[in-house]
Each structure stands twice: as C-alpha cells, then as structure tokens.
Amino acid sequence: MYDVTAIGELLIDFAALSSDSAGYPTMKANPGGAPGNFLAALNAYGARTAFLGKVGGDAFGTLLVRTLADAGVETKGIVTDDTVFTTLAFVTFSPEGDRSFSFARKPGADTRLLFGELDLSLIDGARVFHFGTLSLTDEPVRTTTQKAVAYAREKGKMITFDPNLRPPLWKSREEAREQILWGLSRADVVKISDDEVEFLWGITDETEAAGKLLNEYGVRLAMITLGPKGAYLANRNGGARAVCPP
C-alpha cells in the first residue's frame, strides 16, 4: 500500500553557479522534476510513495531512477525509452535572485509516456494520486495523464494537483490556462502559487483565490504559496496562514 503515487516528469536541473567573462555559465547538475521531488520529501517524513513516468535510455535517466530509489520511492513504474533523451532544464538567476528556466525537451522522454505503459497497480494500491502540468504540455503524455487521473478518480483516490507553471514549455498562455483549469476541476487538494493565481484570474488576494478554488472548482483544501510571506491554507471550515521560517 502506498500513501501517494505520482505521475510526471523526471529531469536534470542544471543550475548556474557562476559565469565567465564572456557570460558562459558553470552549471551544477541536480535531480529534478516537481513530482519526484514531492515524493522524495514525503518519504523523508515516513510516507510510502511510487512514481509513474519515463526517462531516456541515457546516463541521466539511469541516475535519476537510482536517485529516486535511494530516496525510498518505488520506481518500478518508471519506463526507459532508448529513442529519446531525458529532459534537461537550465536554471539561471537574475541579479535580484529571480529564476529563469529553459528546457531541452523536443521531445524529452517524459513527454512520450503512454497510458498502456502505466503500471496501474501503483494507482490501485495508493490512497492519493498526484499530478502537475508538465505532464499536460505535450502529447502523448497529456492524454496519458488525463486518463490516469480519470482512472484514479474512478477508483476513489484522493487527487492532488500542483500547477507548477513553466511558461516556456507551453505553446501559448491560453493552452497553459486551459490545462491548469482542467487540473483544478479534477483535484481534491491544490497547491498553487500566488503568481499562478494571478496568471489564471488576475487575482492578487489569496483569500479570494482560495474561495474561488473551494466554491467554483470543488477543491477540498487550497494551499496558496506566497513566496517569502509563507502560505495561506483554506478549506470549508476556514483558513489559516503559515509563515516562512526565519
């Protein structure tokens, strides 16, 4: 029995450490992909988790699967595809510390996952099914994710959703908005940032956004992250604020 099974992307995050005089960065490789990071964190707190996804038949794919397994996550649901490379993300920072993302994903292995490749026993054996939007940006993984969410709902699983908006991966803002709204309409629990709320609805008040999620989308628990200001959490019984640790 698993506490949470997630579907989505595994990728390598290259983070800039420094730049030479010509502007070329020195970069450090790190394991990445929001669903995998989420499961690894849950395991650190004692949960049992499993992952559904696809990596390339390359050194980075092998490393990511091993890293996830070392974190205690069940990896038998990860498919290896020798015809495509594992997705790479490049993260750079402005002088103010703001992140900027670019991706080598045309296509990346994570976008090639087929529904027929899913080990559905990992959904059957879980209490919670989690997904984000990086598995909604491209076909065939978009259809795979949508079918997996429908399957989990039919099985009575709690559905959790993290929009995790990455504009460079979408063909248009309209498509991104459409898919995020689709995810919100299927979720019991949503973790969404204040920037994503503003992107969707132009709302800058977190209590208004939480009310919209609860009343219009049927979300049972809304968690809105507020950067350095912490987070706002709300359900139908009320709301509460969590501050960032010093």
Per-residue pLDDT, averaged over 165-187, amounts to 97
Residue 99 has pLDDT above 80, yes or no: no
CATH superfamily entry for domain 2-8+34-84+107-187: Ribokinase (3.40.1190.20)
Dihedral sign for Cα atoms in the order 206, 211, 212, 213: positive
Q: How far apart are CA 67 and CA 72, in angstroms?
A: 9
| Mean model confidence pLDDT for the chain | 96
**Which of 12-21, 61-70, 123-132 is predicted least confidently?**
12-21
Amino acid occupying residue 170:
W
- Is it true that the peptide bond before 140 is cis, omega within 30 degrees of 0? yes
Segment 28-80, tens digit of pLDDT: 999 999 999 999 999 999 999 999 999 999 999 999 999 999 999 999 999 99
Tell me the whole-structure pTM to 2 decimals: 0.94
3-state secondary structure 103-115: EECCCEHHHHCCH
Segment 188-236, tens digit of pLDDT: 999 999 999 999 999 999 999 999 999 999 999 999 999 999 999 999 9
Query: How many residues are given for the chain?
Result: 246
Helix (H) or strand (E) holding 197: helix 194-201
pLDDT category at 18 given cuts 50, 70, 90 is confident
Place of tokens 């991104």: 176
